[in-house]
Structure 1
Amino acid sequence: MKIKLFFILLAALCVSKSYAQPLKEIKIEPISWWAGMENPFVQLTIYGKDINKTTVEINYPGVNLIRVHQVENSNYLFADLEISKDAKAGLVPIKFSQNGKVKFTYNYPIGTKSSAAGIQGVNNSDLIYQILPDRFSNGDKRNDIVPNMRETGLNRDSMYYRHGGDLQGIINKLDYIYDLGATAIWLTPVLENNMEKASYHGYAITDHYKIDPRFGTNEQYKSFVEKCHQKGIKVIKDIIHNHFGDQHWTISDLPFKDWVHQWPSFTQTTYKDQTVFDPYASSLDKKKMVNGWFVKTMPDMNQENTFVQNYITQHVIWWVEYARLDGLRLDTYPYNYLPYMKEWAERMKLEYPNLSIFGEALVNSNISQAYFSGGNKLNQGIDTSLPGVIDVSVKDAIYESINGQFGWTTGVNSLYSTLAEDFIYVTPENNVVFLDNHDLSRSFSILKENLSAYKSAYTILLTTRGIPQTYYGFEILMKNFCDPDGLVRSDFPGGWQEDRTDKFTHEGRSPEENEFFNHFKTLANYRKKTSALQTGKLMQFVPEDGVYTYFRYDSNKTIMVIVNPTNQIKTLDTARFKERLQESDSAMDVLENKIFRFEKQMDIPANKTMVLELL
């Protein structure tokens, strides 16, 4: 165990090199690998000045050099290795020779793969708390400004500059997150973003094997995951297949021209996901959607190229193995090359069967979401093998249920109808249900800063099917519309020593903030111990008179949820729900902590969602 840890840490810090002749720089990625992988093959990307003028030799028991690929750029070689399960952990000498003489030797670390059973996975029992690290909490001022980075400014008065939040800041708040009821943390990307501006959000990666030093180090990230696990919190990593940052080292010096999608002039994606599955779509429209660049500073990767595929896939495997991650959130999923994404998902499941994966598909319909999720139930012609997506349709339906006009196809009927279409998914319970995130307007603003409506929306979120996800600051009523997106990425008050108020504490929050905080905390922690709200079945009844009623139930408990978003007291006939109420004549009102007696007629308060545990 100690030997394995030594070589992993060695790889993370800096791979050692020994030279027979001076060489300015050589880079090999993945920076280390493991014996015992289900797929024993790994492709090394080797970079150095005129490296393709050398020949490569490996003589190490259990490690077989299959092939060396020369490409357009003389500064690259790609080496295919097979590492047997019997290979011992250690430094593999990779010899580079020219004219029969060894020019230098690169000592490449390999370890032994840990048991895949140690990967927990994120499931319906979990509640995800999403964090934008730069804006959550500054736990280490020493890394606020790192010399030699392209962006060194720190300006909390600007939404575009870095504010100083880091991994240590999150570690300092793990008790707060767990006490709130969360069991999983999703961080927006924390890998190096050495970009000239707006590097804080993390989605323009410049080094796939290095935590951005303004957040911390590789070792600290691994420690963060370990500390989360010790507290009963799982960790989800944000993965970006579609694009790199334009300052990534493979972009600054392309291995070959079609490493990225090339256009005669800058061509941006159309953001029209429909063209991917539209049977009548123009081939040019489809090409622009998938191959067009997201923005000028984020080159679109050519995922039809197997070298690109290997590079992306291997870095994800490296982080799962190195840090022992529990789940992956896939950014900009519809913009990827779907045949590759299918192979990628199957490769990940081969290595880590319990690993959870869900994709971001910010689309406009249930059908669009289902197209990108796993299965081939809609005659789409491809099974992406993607277990779940972020459920935009449910999000929109919850908002419509609370904010909308109440008619046959609107209001609470929208949520009923959306869930009634779950037959289009293979595993709808794997979808991540949410109300906002770093790209969308804050839920408190969308719900018109109405506290009763806000409570109802989050009560639905915690009691409907799927894996619920929240966004930092929702619990203290953070607000703003996403115009621009920086407005929904504000600092969490109290995350910085100089902050005048600390909303991580009861004393720092206003009475209204504490009212919602306690409401959510009560229900989230109740959900944490109630299997019916996690994996229980869902039965919903057709809404009547603007009121929506549904049940979550299993062999242990039955939970009745009644949503009355109207401004009037509504009366329900309990006989209608006999199928699920059965012989129950009372229930525990979970949010009020009192016994509720069932009568033939039930009066449901206005602007309220009730959660009743049948007794």
Structure 2
Amino acid sequence: MKTLKTILKRVEPPHWWAGMGLKKLQLLFYGNNISEYNITCSSGLKILQVSQTENSNYLFVTLDASEIEGGTYSFTFQKENFPDFTIPYEFKERSGNSANRTSFDSSDVFYLLMPDRFANANPRINSVKQLIEKVNPNDLHGRHGGDIQGIINNLDYLKDLGITTLWSTPLCENNSSTGSYHGYAQTDVYNIDARLGSLADYKNLSKELHKRGMKLVIDYVTNHWGSEHWLIKDLPCKDWLNQWKHFTNTIHKTTSLFDTNASVFDKDQHEKGWFVSTMPDLNQRNPLVLNYLIQNAIWWIEEVNLDGIRVDTFTYNYKEAAVKWLEAIQNEYPNLNIIGEVWLHNSAQLAYWQKDSKIGEMASYNSQLPCVTDFPLHNALQDIFYSKHRKLKDLESLYETFVNDFFYPNPQGLMRFLENHDTQRFNTQCGGDLDAYKIALTVICTVRGIPQLYYGSEIGMQGDKNNGDGDIRHEFPGGWAKHKQNAFLPPTANKGRNVYQESFHAFTKKLLNWRKDNRTVHYGNFLHFVSVDHVYVYFRYLDEEKRVMVIINNSKTKKILALKKFAEGLNGSKTGNEILSDQVLDLSTELSMPARTPYIIELT
């Protein structure tokens, strides 16, 4: 005799909330021939539509969610010659002011980490029976055992460093046979990967961050899932995915989506090609798929009390569907900020993808994406400080990066970074040069936009992407009991940071904690001067706030700056407090700048 468990295997979303802005809720019922059943609901629910697909194991039911009250309701399934069965479905009471939650902005500093490589607090879940890949710390590209509790245990370290916002790579189940640690080939987007912890752990991470006045951003993947995703292994319909006769890789040409001369062939292969063979491309033209993705993102925001979203591979989506996805989330949470990964190196092309872009408007497109990743600035910094240059490069490319700010509708909506989980480690690129790190970090913390730090940057961590992605994703020293040295601890503690690590950490901490309370740097206007002879000078200013002058000397020699040139930025100030060296400077006539040094001067 078939039991309820053998008939109905999944209901998604697993629950919902009363009082949401989303007026129509699409429920997915999955089970053996579930579409052969008639479905009715209890009083208080109204079914608007029942949709069947070519796979009889699915039933999509659309509810009128406009006036639902909190409580537990029921769905009854009936089939001739089979016993009826009834299941409960809960609509939770929505937390107060959820719709108007605040989010991140340019006052924040992001910390990006990979949970599997950050800290291992619970070795008992390093490997679990139901998930294929087991822990293998000796494999650079295998699972190492970091978990959510490991992140929670080190939140005080992050707060002390000056971090305000945590961005973790995806935490949902990734039941792949290899390479599952990174999380981008998800196999169940309503469950936390059991090797990282549980939903309760994730909610506790959010709670502990908020207790410390910090924020949590989810890494969301709209473009693809893993090939082992339960739903992909039993597709509701063939057009749930972008299908090809033979495996077809994306051509990774985002430009084809706005190139007026692009062939349909190239555009289709970029947009519909699979990211890799193990990451099937979702067909967001299918309204069932798009609704699923919209509701799933909202579910995580509401369930975990999230403060924002980072969208992976944003420019690989069907771009019209991406707009609908963003609009639905923004309608639910008008103040929620969202950053999209836009891996483009040209400022005009990057600007096309930002909300209200004039460049996008010329192409009859508005992405609705508030924030984008500033790869032009990243590229300039990595190139300027590349240790294998025969001589120090001038700062002209840095200056020229900001010259192009007129392309962006909102330059403050750019995420700036030295490195991330997909790029070369900056401290490898610059050969472990502390002076280069100080200058580059000063730049990303004092120019417009949202700075992002990658875990380990602050202790000088290195790794070579040429050896594979695993080499830029090493374990954070001290995150595992086996580690002989603990970089989470100060150098005065037993096994604490060594001299090299502390030199990076002390500078990072001082800079980030100064930035945390400086409105001028958060929101101020930007004024810069043409870089000359390895020296670049710029100002941040707001009405009735202290002006900030930043001087970068990337020369191997001391420079004497005649300050008359910078009168427009100095605005009459004759002295200033240099916050990195804790000295008061005379700015009346000229200033001596030490070699390979950044200055941040609060004008007085």
Same fold (TM over 0.5): yes
For 1:363, which of 321, 333, 344 is the aligned residue? 344
**1:232: which partner in 2?**
213
Q: Contact 2:533/2:555 (CA < 8 Å) preserved in 1?
A: no
Q: Structure 1 residues 72 and 552, CA, compared in 2 at 3 Å: closer, same or farther? A: same
Q: State the partner residue of 1:271.
A: 252
CA distance 1:402–1:549, shift in 2 (3 Å)? farther
Output the CA distance in 1 between the equivalents of 2:285 and 2:201. Answer: 35
Q: Structure 1 residues 207 and 474, CA, compared in 2 at 3 Å: closer, same or farther?
A: same
1:7 match: none
TM-score, normalized by length of structure 2?
Answer: 0.95
Residue number in structure 2 paired with 1:506:
490
Structure 1 match to 2:528: 540
TM-aligned CA deviation for residue 185 of structure 1: 0.3
Match for residue 248 of structure 1?
A: 229
In the alignment, which of 287, 306, 317 is matched to residue 325 of structure 1?
A: 306
Give the direction of change, closer, same or farther, for the CA distance of 1:21–1:324 in structure 2 (3 Å limit): closer
Cα 1:553–1:600 shift into 2, 3 Å:
same
2:27 matched residue in structure 1: 44
- Equivalence for 1:441: 424
Q: What letter is aligned with 1:495? A: G
Q: State the match for 1:104 in structure 2.
A: 85
Confirm whether residue 576 of structure 1 aligns to residue 565 of structure 2: yes
Partner of 2:98: 116
Structure 2: unaligned runs, 5 residues or longer: none
Residues 405 and 542 of structure 1, relative CA distance in 2, 3 Å threshold:
farther
| Paired residue type of 2:42 | N
Cα distance in structure 1, aligned partners of 2:545 and 2:588? 24
Query: Alignment partner of 1:575: what SS?
Result: helix
CA distance in structure 2 between the partners assigned to 1:22 and 1:196 by the alignment? 27
Stretch moving more, 323-332 or 505-514: 505-514
1:334 CA drift (Å): 0.9
Deviation for aligned residue 1:102: 5.7
Distance 1:440 1:533 in 2: 26
Aligned match of 1:344 = 325
Work out whether residues 259 and 301 of structure 1, in 8 Å CA contact, stay in contact via their aligned partners in 2: yes
CA drift at 1:546: 2.4
Q: C-alpha offsets along residues 356-413 of structure 1, whole Å, 9 cap, x if unaligned? A: 100011122112211222124111221010001111011112234445999xxx7322
Q: 1:192-245, CA deviations, whole angstroms, 9 ceiling, x for partnerless residues?
A: 111111111000111111111111111110111000000111000000000011
Deviation at 1:257, TM superposition (A): 0.4
Aligned pair count reads 591
Helix, strand or coil: the match of 1:156?
coil
In structure 2, the residue corresponding to 1:182 is in which secondary structure? coil
Give the Cα separation in 1 of the matches to 2:132 and 2:564: 67
Q: Is the aligned partner of 1:130 residue 2:112?
A: yes
Q: Which residue of 2 aligns with 1:493?
A: 477
Equivalent position of 1:30 in the other structure: 13
After superposition, the Cα gap between the structure-2 partners of 1:211 and 1:405, relative to the gap in structure 1 and judged at 3 Å, is closer
- Distance in 2, matches of 1:134 and 1:60, equals 46
Alignment match of 1:140 (pick from 109, 113, 122):
122
**Aligned twin of 1:457:** 440
Counterpart of 1:419 in structure 2 is 402
- In structure 2, what is the equivalent of residue 591 of structure 1? 580
Residue 70 in structure 1 maps to residue 59 in structure 2: no
Evaluate the alpha carbon distance shift between residue 518 and residue 20 of structure 1 in structure 2; reply closer, same or farther with a 3 A threshold: closer
- Per the TM alignment, residue 26 of structure 1 is displaced from its structure 2 partner at its CA by 2.4
Cα separation, partners in 2 of 1:383 and 1:170, compared to 1, 3 Å: same
Which contiguous aligned blocks of 4+ residues in structure 1 show a shift greater than 6 angstroms? 19-22
Query: Structure 1 stretch 526-535 or stretch 25-34: which is displaced more?
Result: 25-34
Secondary structure of the 1:520 match is helix
**SS of match in other structure, 1:37:** coil
Distance of 2:43 and 2:349 partners within structure 1: 50
Deviation at 1:122, TM superposition (A): 0.7
Whole-angstrom distance in 2 between the partners of 1:600 and 1:403: 34
| 2:414 matches 1:431 | yes
Select 1:399's aligned residue among 340, 359, 382.
382
8 Å CA contact 1:94, 1:105 repeated in 2: yes
Contact in 2 for aligned 1:55/1:98 (Cα 8 Å): yes
In structure 2, what is the equivalent of residue 84 of structure 1? 66
Unmatched 5+ residue regions in structure 1?
A: 1-18
CA RMSD of aligned residues (A): 1.7
Give the drift of 1:512.
2.5
Separation in 2, partners of 1:440, 1:283? 30
1:176 maps to: 157
Change (3 A) 1:165 1:21: closer
The equivalent residue for 1:13 is: none
Are the structure 2 counterparts of residues 117 and 52 from structure 1 closer, same or farther at C-alpha, using a change threshold of 3 Å?
closer
User: Given the alignment, which residue of 545, 550, 554 partners 1:556?
Assistant: 545
Question: How far apart, CA to CA, are the structure 2 residues paired with 1:118 and 1:163?
Answer: 38
Q: CA deviation at 1:25?
A: 3.7
SS in 1 for 2:46: strand
CA deviation vs aligned residue, 1:447-478 (integer Å, no higher than 9, x gap): 22211111100011111110000000001111
Secondary structure in 2 matching 1:372: coil
Q: Distance in 2 between matches of 1:195 and 1:103?
A: 37
Counterparts of 1:145 and 1:288 in 2: how far apart (Å)? 37
Amino acid at match of 1:532: T
Judge conservation of contact 1:116–1:351 (CA < 8 Å) in 2: no
CA distance in 2, matches of 1:227, 1:511: 31
Q: Report what 1:11 is aligned to.
A: none
d(CA) in 1 for partners of 2:255, 2:278: 25
CA contact under 8 A between 1:188 and 1:238: conserved in structure 2?
yes
User: Distance between the aligned counterparts of 1:481 and 1:381, measured in 2?
Assistant: 41
Partner amino acid, structure 1, of 2:435 = S
| SS in structure 1 of the partner of residue 231 of structure 2 | helix
Give me the whole-angstrom Cα distance separating, in 2, the residues matched to 1:428 and 1:362.
Answer: 16
> Matched residues in 2 for 1:382 and 1:584: separation?
45
Counterpart amino acid of residue 498 in structure 1? K
SS of 1:432 mapped into structure 2? strand
Q: How far apart, CA to CA, are the structure 1 residues paired with 2:484 and 2:379?
A: 36
Distance 1:79 1:612 in 2: 61
Q: Is the 8 A contact 1:402 1:412 kept in 2?
A: no
* CA distance in 2 between partners of 1:305 and 1:592 (Å): 58
Q: 1:350 to 1:373 in 2, by over 3 A?
A: same
Give the counterpart letter for 2:275 in structure 1. F
- Give the Cα separation in 2 of the matches to 1:563 and 1:405: 21
Partner of 2:269: 288
Would the alpha carbon gap of residues 469 and 79 (structure 1) be closer, same or farther in structure 2, given more than 3 Å must change? same
What letter corresponds to residue 540 of structure 1 in structure 2?
H
1:154 aligned partner: 135
Distance of 1:21 and 1:286 partners within structure 2:
46
Classify 1:133/1:405 alpha carbon distance in 2 versus 1 (closer, same or farther; 3 Å).
closer
Residues 447 and 453, structure 1, Cα contact 8 Å, conserved in 2: yes
Asked whether the 8 Å contact 2:141–2:469 carries over to 1, the reply is no
3-state DSSP of counterpart to 1:534: helix
Q: 1:405 & 1:567 partners in 2: Cα distance?
A: 16
| SS of structure 2 residue aligned to 1:116 | coil
Specify the SS of the correspondent of 2:146.
coil
